[in-house]
Amino acid sequence: MPFSHFVAKLVIGGGPRPSEVFRRLIKRSLNDPKHIAWFKGILGDDQFERAGNSICIPLWMPGDGAPIEAVIARILHGFGLGLPDEEDQRYYAAWPNLTNWWPLGGLRGTKERPDIALTRFGSLDEIPGRQWRTQNGAGQVFCGMAAVAGWAFPESFDTLGWVQELAAASKARGRVDLGGCPPRSPTDPDV
């Protein structure tokens, strides 16, 4: 049985700096005419089955008691979207270990914001859903180093509604450009 959502724990050194990647994804989605942001990772789509409500949650645990940062985004079908532009390709060029492109965000129908948001969690246990194969929560799955896991949510959980709630909350906080999530520190610039 394939999975239709995934969570990916990013670490320093495995690709571009996670906090920079997250802010860049939000900015790219808001500025792109189709509201698409391209994320490049190690997860292939051989067991992944996109559904109309598929989302991904790339997250980063900065440590030292700092909140977990995460992007929550709808995963788009790549058909007809073409390839990421040269700017995106240059951005990820230094990390040959990242081999798979994922188009994220997009603007659905009458929605005011793309289906992408930058948020924070106080702990891994706040992340809804479970690993699709083991049924373990995020606190059990992501307690080690970098990891990627297929994810499942209860049938009653509205994944895209959740993304829109997070996006609306960020807009209400007045940080539309960064999805409502300010930089982690003064040295962590807004991109």
Condensed to tens digits (0 to 9), the pLDDT of residues 12-41 reads: 888 899 999 999 999 999 999 999 999 998
Backbone angles phi, psi at 39, to 5 degrees: -110, 135
Per-residue model confidence (pLDDT) at position 39:
95
Count of helix runs (H) and strand runs (E) in the chain: 4, 8
Q: In this structure, how many other beta carbons lie within 10 angstroms of the beta carbon of residue 191? A: 17
Question: Helices in 47-158 by DSSP H: which ranges?
Answer: 86-92, 138-141
80-108 pLDDT tens trace? 788 899 999 999 999 999 988 999 999 99
Candidates 95, 3, 110, 84; CA nearest to 48 is 3
Check pLDDT > 90 for residue 47: no
Give the residue extent of every domain in the chain. Answer: 5-178
C-alpha distances (whole Å) from 84 to each of 4, 16, 97, 123 are: 22, 16, 17, 33
Amino acid at 11: V
Of residues 173 and 12, which shows the higher confidence score? 12
